Amino acid sequence: MIKTRQLFGTDGIRSVAGKYPLDQPTVYAIGCALGKWAKKTAAGGHAEIVIGMDTRESGPWIAEMVAGGAAQYGVNVRFAGLVTTPGIAYLTRTRDFVAGVMISASHNPFEDNGIKVFGHDGYKLSDDRELEMETVIFQVLANAEVPKPAVLTVDEGLDAAYVDFLASSFEGTLTGKKFVLDCANGACSHLAPELFHRLGAEVVALSMEPDGRNINLGCGALHPERLQKAVVDAGADAGVAFDGDADRAILVSASGKIVDGDQMLLIAARALKAAGKLPGNVVVATVMSNMGLEVALEAEGIRLDRTPVGDKYVLEEMIRTGAAIGGEQSGHVIFHEYATTGDGMLTAMRIVEQMAKTGKTLDELAAGLEIYPQRLVNVRVREKKPMSDIPPVMEAIRECEDYFHGKGRVLVRYSGTESLARVMVEGPELLHVERFAESVAAVLRHELGA
């Protein structure tokens, strides 16, 4: 019988802070499991890990518990304090750390938190490695060991090294340009403004006063409305909104228009191809990226490879094909030359770098992408039966595909976390997009509706 993971999901361990599996005994046990693995795999027996966190009020005690558990196995911990998720990935792969731990729940509200573990290569641990750690975690819990939290002191040089790396990768200067940064009261609150200042920009900073509970609260990448107004009011060249752990970014042009992940992929792909740095002339995105991106890339002689929803699948496909860039509409973009994960600050830099190099505005750089109308309909279902086993649904899908004849598409998939089927229809005309989305959803309701 194949064992499945009980604690680790697609993005580490995530829950409401203080409740299982993020209660103190389990978090301590996670630290023990990490320490045992780190000690076993460390060269010469000397094992050191790095821990970072975002601004949630639960972050410090979770960090102390993880560090305390690791210390029981003789593993040394260096504490980066407030730093981004990609910052931890960078530090882990560029220094002598066996592993890196990021304590964050990304774009979730402050009540939630999470533990994500990176190996020395900067990638998330394999499913098998996480399963191995879970065995140790449950053993520690069964022994009812009393948690022994560690006392941690922030090593200020760690996040500084990450910012140094980002700044050193920038070609040109932002002198004479103004940017508005919405830091989501999160992990990049002190890092992003510093980076843009170092590159010569004038910075207007928003949502950079974290209090432990206001992370992502009505701000950041999930709520760019405030940033849109601020960019126009300030007469800025552009704006950037990050999420809580700054692994994604959404941009806003001087005219107040949102520039999402699809548009950033187009801008970056054009630049990479022109520089001879786009292997295979391919870009990786998920099935949710707009068809307009596919059309725009095709016009540039660039192929779009699609994956299931999730940055995990994007990264896997990039590694498999050797692609230089991939990402999602959400602004989670991976520049594989520089990083092993999505990085909002790095993404913003690569895009504004093109503004500096070309002298073009963000609107001009994003030109050529015609956004096809999309309609998404959720249908609550009583079971998740394979679509291929439901002839009426397949017939409704075929009818839609026949009508669009390659100039539109229909995607029907089940939610991974809820009892929902999601119907997404995309095409050149909103009227027909809406009509087919509703017709396919109606058939689903009739066949599987809860």
353 and 385 housed in the same domain: no
151 and 115 housed in the same domain: yes
251 and 139 housed in the same domain: no
Residue range 62-83: mean pLDDT, rounded: 97
Instruction: Flag whether pLDDT at 2 surpasses 90.
Output: no
Place of tokens 């750390």: 97
> Tens digits of per-residue pLDDT, 375-434?
999 999 999 999 999 999 999 999 999 999 888 999 999 987 788 999 999 999 999 999
Residue 4 inside a domain? The answer is: no
Residue 257 inside a domain? The answer is: yes
231 and 131 housed in the same domain: no
Could you tell me the CATH number of the domain that includes residue 402? 3.30.310.50
Instruction: Flag whether pLDDT at 1 surpasses 50.
Output: no
> Tens digits of per-residue pLDDT, 274-288?
999 999 999 999 998
Strand order in the sheet with 374-380: 374-380, 420-426, 409-414
259 and 208 housed in the same domain: yes
In the structure, what pLDDT confidence band is assigned to residue 3 with cuts at 50, 70 and 90?
low
- Assign 238 to helix, strand or coil: strand
> Tens digits of per-residue pLDDT, 339-381?
999 999 999 999 999 999 999 999 999 998 999 999 999 999 9
Could you tell me the CATH number of the domain that includes residue 361? 3.40.120.10
What is the pTM for the complete model shown? Answer: 0.92
To the query of whether residue 253 is one of the catalytic residues in this protein, the response is no
Residue 438 inside a domain? The answer is: yes
> Tens digits of per-residue pLDDT, 133-191?
999 999 999 999 899 999 999 999 999 999 999 999 999 999 999 999 999 999 999 99
Query: How many domains does the chain contain in total?
Result: 3
- Among candidate residues 133, 157, 181, the one where a domain is terminated: 157
198 and 330 housed in the same domain: yes
304 and 378 housed in the same domain: no
Residue 54 inside a domain? The answer is: yes
List C-alpha distances in Å: 70 to 24, 94, 102, 118.
14, 21, 14, 15
79 and 207 housed in the same domain: no
57 and 136 housed in the same domain: yes
Range of the domain at 139: 13-157
Residue 3 inside a domain? The answer is: no
Of 106, 207, 253, 330, the catalytic one is 106
> Tens digits of per-residue pLDDT, 265-315?
999 999 999 999 999 999 999 998 999 999 999 999 999 999 988 888 999
361 and 378 housed in the same domain: no
326 and 388 housed in the same domain: no
Residue range 183-210: mean pLDDT, rounded: 98
Residue 396 inside a domain? The answer is: yes
Residue 223 inside a domain? The answer is: yes
In the structure, what pLDDT confidence band is assigned to residue 66 with cuts at 50, 70 and 90?
very high
Looking at the DSSP bridge assignments, the partners of residue 306 are 285
Cα–Cα distance between 406 and 149 in angstroms, integer? 59
Cα–Cα distance between 256 and 253 in angstroms, integer? 5
Predicted pLDDT at 380: 95
Residue 76 inside a domain? The answer is: yes
